[in-house]
Amino acid sequence: MHPLDIVQALLYGVVYGSIYALAASGFALTLGVMQIVNFAHGHFIVVAGFLSLLLFRLWAVDPFVSIAATVPLAFVLGAAIYSLVLRHVVMESHHTQIMVTLGIGLIIENVLLLAFGGDLRLASTGYTSRTLRLGGLALSVPKVVAAVLAVVTVALLWAMLRYTKLGKAIRASTDNWQAATLMGIDVRRVRLYAFGLSAVTAAVAGSSLPTFYLLSPFSGIEFLLKAFAIVVIGGVEDVRGVVIGGLLLGLLEAAAGMLFSAAIGSAFTFAVVLVFLAWRPSGLLGRA
């Protein structure tokens, strides 16, 4: 294999890794802050993708531009799902939460199936097949844009959690929600905002996919498993863990895809997840 091909494949690993990190950041946020396992998180991503596809088909809105519409919508929908359903299972076992969110995922998946059918879909924009040439490398424009957007969003999430009042409240509620309540933090509202934010990250990830990634109503489970794998690799306690996990997953997939076939590459990824579950159950950055 030509060395440039290897560099190119690894670069795509970084590109996909950034997008995976964004996809996982919301899952990690709800798991870390609220101890809520959201098995519908992948479906949140897919919903945003299909909304962008719809806007593209109806009014030729560029999927990346449509983020301006899907993000506020995602916040409202996320907050609604939280206050209608998930609020009641915050204190329940993970098994209960898994079942409830699986139910929500089933509802989303089948509503999308009724509305759009089961085909794989892509938004063919003017730049879908355009590439960026760097030396001997050729990088797809929409993938690079999506990756940059993912990096920016994850960085904003990190800065928000670190420097804003809401972010501090979210972190305080993660560490010890009882103490946070005693300090005057309205933990219930913090949870609502955190869940809304998680849906927002899903919307950014979902809306940046349709220009280069074939989406179907069944794609939700695929993103859920990726997010779960990243959380196992990186841990839930810090956004940086998610970034490391996402990049590792992207690079692993790229490397395994080069060395073996794509199918065996996916098997390899899950083998790594098993190794991490055994070796580092709380992730690379987690407390042992």
Partner 1 sequence: MFQVRPLPNTGTAVLTVTLVVVVLALPMVLNSYYLTLAVSAALWAYLSLCWNLSGGYAGLFSFGHTAFFAAGAYTSTLLYTELAVSPWLGMFAGAGMGALLALIIAVLAVRYRIRGMYFSLATVAVVEILRPVLDTWSSVGGSTGILLPLLNSPGNMLFIKRAYYYYVIVGLVAVAMLVTWMIARSRLGYYAIAIREDETAAEVSGVPSARVKRQMLAISAALTAVGGTFYAQFYLFIQPEIVLGWDPQMQMILGTMVGGPGTVAGPVVGSLAFSVLTEVLQLLPIGWSPEIAAIVMRLIWGVILVAVMLYLPGGLLGMGLHARKRARVARA
By CB under 8 A, name the binding residues for partner 1.
Answer: 37, 85, 88-89, 91-96, 98-100, 102-107, 109-111, 113-114, 221, 225, 228-229, 232, 261, 263-264, 266-267, 270-271, 273-274, 277-279, 281
Nearest-approach distance from CB 116 to partner 1, in angstroms:
11
Output b/e per residue, 258-278; b: 16+ Cβ within 10 A: eeeeeeebbebbeebbeebee
Nearer residue to partner 1 within complex by CB, 54 or 85: 85
Nearest-approach distance from CB 174 to partner 1, in angstroms:
17
Nearer residue to partner 1 within complex by CB, 107 or 148: 107
Nearest-approach distance from CB 121 to partner 1, in angstroms:
17
Handedness of CA 191, 192, 193, 197 (dihedral sign): positive
Nearer residue to partner 1 within complex by CB, 163 or 178: 178
Q: How far apart are CA 172 and CA 50, in angstroms?
A: 35
Nearest-approach distance from CB 253 to partner 1, in angstroms:
13
Nearest-approach distance from CB 98 to partner 1, in angstroms:
6
Nearer residue to partner 1 within complex by CB, 32 or 142: 32
Nearest-approach distance from CB 27 to partner 1, in angstroms:
12
Nearer residue to partner 1 within complex by CB, 11 or 37: 37
SS3 state of residue 149:
helix
Using CB atoms within 10 Å of the CB of residue 254, give its burial: 0 to 12 exposed, 13 to 18 middle, 19+ buried. Answer: buried
Nearer residue to partner 1 within complex by CB, 10 or 221: 221
Nearest-approach distance from CB 264 to partner 1, in angstroms:
6
Nearer residue to partner 1 within complex by CB, 181 or 266: 266
Instruction: For Cα atoms 267, 272, 276, give the angle at the middle one, nearest 5 degrees.
Output: 145
Nearer residue to partner 1 within complex by CB, 86 or 205: 86
Nearest-approach distance from CB 148 to partner 1, in angstroms:
30
